[in-house]
């Protein structure tokens, strides 16, 4: 069983004030029983890495380009993230898929590059409300997993985050049974493609309105190996409680 992972995605939020809380968070959790990752905006990565130096907190980007360098104005490459002190990168978040037209094929290329360059990729998938209501959830999840993950995947370099689009930032969460159904399906899909041993080693995160009040019950669901947290990760106190819920 891999160590659980509490990952925070700050999205296009956060600045110096939130950054200064990270040092306090690191002090409050000097040896957490789970891995802890924070993915701030690209502009904060190097300062965050500096603030987290020597602590148990890892730092990640929220996206990277599929190429390692070149004429791509405004983009950030995997080697640049590493150079700034990041060890992870979130890829294929539904907001990237929506705002920037990223497809499974795009995400697969980015994931391949990120992993080849030495980052751990946190690959996001999830159905829309319309897809869930149409009974298509598992079809969508299966297609996204198949398309977004490269064949060369290894358990140590890939994390898969299930984030139902309708649960992100809405305060809505699936029932525990619904989370269990999708996570069981994800594990089985990975096992069919990569073998059971490797599938068991890939961490499956749940994301979407995770907060201190629901973290423990979500973490108790089989095949949930941690969380990808948006809004609550910007509040050090809330994120600390989520880390503690995973820790126990």
How large is the greatest C-alpha to C-alpha distance in the chain, in angstroms? 48
Residue 161 — φ and ψ, nearest 5°?
Answer: -110, 120
Structure tokens at 139: 């079809």
Listed in sequence order, the DSSP H helices in 32-175 are: 45-52, 78-84, 94-99, 104-117, 129-133, 137-148
Among 40, 164, 230, 240, binds ligand 13P (CB under 6 A): 230
11 is in an annotated binding site: yes
Considering only residues 159 to 178 of the shown chain, the ones binding ligand 13P according to CB under 6 A are: 163, 168-169
Instruction: Report if residue 231 touches ligand 13P, rule: CB under 6 A.
Output: yes
Q: What is the distance between the alpha carbons of residues 94 and 124, in angstroms, rounded to a whole number?
A: 7
Q: What is the distance between the alpha carbons of residues 65 and 76, in angstroms, rounded to a whole number?
A: 6
- Minimum CB separation of residue 176 from ligand 13P in Å reads 17
Rg of the chain (C-alpha set): 17
Which burial class, exposed, middle or buried, applies to 205 when counting CB atoms under 10 A from its CB (0-12, 13-18, 19+)?
buried
- Minimum CB separation of residue 65 from ligand 13P in Å reads 19
Among 6, 58, 125, 210, binds ligand 13P (CB under 6 A): 210
CB 38 within 8 A of CB 52: yes
CB 112 within 8 A of CB 152: yes
- Minimum CB separation of residue 57 from ligand 13P in Å reads 17
Instruction: Report if residue 60 touches ligand 13P, rule: CB under 6 A.
Output: no
230 is in an annotated binding site: yes
223 is in an annotated binding site: no
Among 228, 242, 243, 245, binds ligand 13P (CB under 6 A): 228
Kindly determine how many residues on this chain lie close enough to bind ligand 13P according to the rule CB under 6 A. Answer: 14
Considering only residues 126 to 155 of the shown chain, the ones binding ligand 13P according to CB under 6 A are: none
Among 4, 5, 9, 240, binds ligand 13P (CB under 6 A): 9
Cα angle value 11/75/93 (rounded, 5°) = 35
Residue 135's CB is within 10 A of a number of other CB atoms, namely: 8
Among the candidate windows 111-119, 138-146, 151-159, 203-211, which touches ligand 13P by CB under 6 A? Answer: 203-211
Residue numbers in the known binding site for substrate are 9-11, 169, 209, 230-231
Q: Which residues bind ligand 13P (CB under 6 A)?
A: 9, 93, 163, 168-169, 207-210, 228-232
């Amino acid at each position: 069983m891999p160590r659980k992972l509490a990952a925070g995605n700050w999205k296009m939020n956060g600045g110096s004030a939130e950054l200064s809380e990270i040092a306090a968070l690191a002090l409050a959790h000097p040896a957490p029983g789970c891995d802890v990752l924070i993915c701030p905006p690209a502009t904060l990565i190097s300062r965050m890495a500096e603030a987290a130096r020597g602590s148990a907190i890892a730092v990640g980007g929220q996206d990277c380009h599929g190429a390692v360098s070149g004429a791509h104005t405004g983009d950030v490459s995997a080697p640049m993230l590493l150079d700034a002190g990041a060890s992870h990168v979130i890829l294929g978040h539904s907001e990237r898929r929506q705002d920037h037209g990223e497809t499974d094929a795009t995400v697969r290329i980015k994931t391949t590059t990120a992993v080849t360059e030495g980052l751990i990729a946190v690959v996001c998938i999830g159905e829309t409300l319309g897809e869930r209501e149409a009974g298509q959830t598992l079809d969508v999840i299966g297609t996204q997993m198949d398309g977004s993950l490269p064949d060369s995947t290894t358990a140590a370099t890939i994390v898969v985050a299930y984030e139902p689009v309708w649960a992100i930032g809405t305060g809505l969460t699936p029932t525990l049974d619904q989370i269990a159904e999708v996570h069981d399906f994800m594990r089985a899909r990975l096992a069919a493609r990569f073998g059971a041993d490797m599938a068991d080693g890939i961490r499956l995160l749940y994301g979407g309105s995770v907060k201190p009040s629901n973290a423990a019950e979500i973490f108790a669901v089989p095949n949930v190996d941690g969380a990808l947290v948006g809004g609550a990760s910007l509040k050090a106190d809330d994120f600390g409680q989520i880390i503690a819920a995973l820790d126990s």
